[in-house]
Amino acid sequence: MEPRRKQEQETARREITELAPNVLRMELPIQMPGLGHVNMYALVDARGAAVVDPGLPTPGNWKAVRDRLAQAGLAPKHVHTVIVTHSHPDHFGGAARLARESGAEIVAHRSFRFGVIEATQDPEVSVEDLAASGEDDESHRRVIQGWNHKTPWGGQHPRPPVRMRLRWRLARWLGRSFVPPITKPVRAGEVLRVGGREWVIRHTPGHTEDHICLHDPADGIFLSGDHVLPSITPHISGLTLSKDPLDTFFGSLDQAAAIPDVKLVLPAHGHPFRDLAGRCEAIKQHHYDRLDTVRRIGRELGPATVQAFSRQLFKPRSWGEMAESETYAHLEHLRIAGQAAVRRDAEGYLIYETG
């Protein structure tokens, strides 16, 4: 019997829905593991519209963006603002073209980056040279050295499929980089006035370091991006500048859960929902359970590599670099909490013991 698909895996519907006055949900198709659509929200006002997360940098996505806007009596030229919740291509990929078509302002957190390129700088980026680096008191934490390099734990760095990398390289060669220039960088606590509402910027690092959510206190609306999703948990990578990525994510979940009087949560994937605090707690519990599982695996395996832990933690269909990165984040959380030890073996791989 086929397992029931989760909300976030559902195929994009062409129909648009008004969730609150002048707040429209527009589903855009994507083809990514575990996902079937991304929600682009249009916040309509007298100037036209602001849109949130306009999908991938593909011709099919652009066709869908134009179609969804047309149903609301809008065109790309009416989009005066593009808001990007975080630096993943299924969220920012359509922003650069919208800006070229309409001159739209592009809003993202001031730390927005795709690889080493901060979007407040030259947005062109080489696929081969995408990198970010950082160190803390542990010499083995070498963060994101590039797609063609090894990870801190000794495995292959996660990277997009070959076809996607070639498409990005071609776009750069043609002078049409899909990485948008952020013309309005924002930080936590700033107020963005679009769609006839005042949205408070909430910086919620975890899924990415530059993730933001938007909160309308007047009507209790919370645009949650990928920070809080209705039925799946966002990927938490070990390849960040944070000393403890999982703990950073927990802090951001606590921040979101503490916001009073949230009546409607609008996620980037899946359907709107209402219990923000409850969902934040459920996501935290998922990771607490996973930490318990990692400790159990450690007792069963003894000293082991990140890959070995990962292949016990995840089902075979999920094996690979992304699973290893999330496993590494959990092992590092345990190490920092004094519940795991680490060393390198003769081949340079990290070996963890959870006792």
Asked if residue 301 belongs to a domain, the reply is yes
Residue partners of 246: CB distance under 8 A and separation at least 6: 236, 287, 329, 330, 332, 333
CA–CA separation, 247 vs 206, rounded Å?
8
* pLDDT confidence of residue 116: 39
Looking at residue 275, its pLDDT comes to 98
Strands 48-52 and 79-83: parallel
Q: Residue 317 domain-assigned?
A: yes
Instruction: Give the single-character DSSP code of 190.
Output: -
Nearest to 192 by CA among 20, 53, 43: 43
C-beta of residue 112 within 8 angstroms of C-beta of residue 87: yes
CB proximity list for 12: less than 8 A, separation 6 or greater: 27, 28, 29, 30, 36, 37, 38, 64
pLDDT of residue 165: 56
CB contact at 8 A, 47 and 21: no
104-136 residues labelled b (16+ CB within 10 A) or e (exposed): bbbbbbbbbbbbebbbbeebebebeebbbeeee
Strand, coil or helix: 54: coil
Q: What's the CATH number where 99 sits?
A: 3.60.15.10
pLDDT number for residue 49: 98
β pairing state of 113-114 and 17-20: unpaired
Residue whose tokens read 């707690």: 281
Q: What is the DSSP string of 213-275?
A: EEEETTTTEEEEETTS-SSS-----S-SSSSSHHHHHHHHHHHHHT-TT--EEEESSS--BS-
pLDDT at 123: 24
Strands 113-114 and 191-194: unpaired
Within 10 angstroms of residue 8's Cβ, the number of other Cβ atoms is 22
pLDDT at 173: 53
Measure the CA–CA gap between 152 and 145, rounded to whole angstroms.
9
The pLDDT score that the predictor gives to residue 31 is 81
Domain with 328, as residue range(s), is: 7-353
CA distance 47 to 22: 12
Is residue 2 assigned to a domain?
A: no
- Residues 6 or more apart whose CB falls under 8 angstroms from that of 115 comprise 125, 129, 130, 131, 132, 144
Q: Estimate to the nearest angstrom the gap between the alpha carbon of 179 and the chain centroid.
A: 15
| Model pLDDT, residue 33 | 80
- C-beta of residue 102 within 8 angstroms of C-beta of residue 92: no
The whole-angstrom separation of Cα 250 and Cα 230 is 17
| Number of separate domains in the chain | 1
d(CA 151, CA 148): 10
- Residue 29 CB partners (closer than 8 Å, separation 6+): 11, 12, 36, 37, 60, 61, 64
Q: CA-to-CA distance for 182 and 127, rounded, in angstroms? A: 20
Residue 344's beta-bridge partner residues?
350
Q: Is 284 helix (H, G, I), strand (E, B) or coil?
A: helix
306 occurs within a structural domain: yes
Indicate whether 1 belongs to any domain: no
Determine the Cα–Cα distance for residues 205 and 267; give it in Å rounded to an integer.
Answer: 16
pLDDT of residue 164: 57
pLDDT per residue rounded down to tens, the chain (355 residues): 445 789 999 999 999 999 999 999 999 999 888 899 999 999 999 999 999 999 999 999 999 999 999 999 999 999 999 999 999 999 999 999 999 999 999 999 999 998 533 333 322 111 111 222 223 334 333 333 344 567 899 866 656 556 655 665 655 555 567 899 999 999 999 999 999 999 999 999 999 999 999 999 999 999 999 999 999 999 999 988 899 999 999 999 999 999 999 999 999 999 999 999 999 999 999 999 999 999 999 999 999 999 999 999 999 999 988 899 999 999 999 999 999 999 999 999 999 999 7
Instruction: Determine, yes or no, domain membership for 64.
Output: yes
Q: Residue 338 — left, alpha, or beta (φ > 0 → left; ψ -120 to 50 → alpha)?
A: left
Classify the phi-psi angles of 44: left when phi > 0, otherwise alpha if psi is within -120 to 50, otherwise beta. Answer: beta
pLDDT at 114: 81
Residue 5: per-residue pLDDT: 81
Q: Strand 221-225 relative to strand 264-267: parallel, antiparallel, unpaired? A: parallel
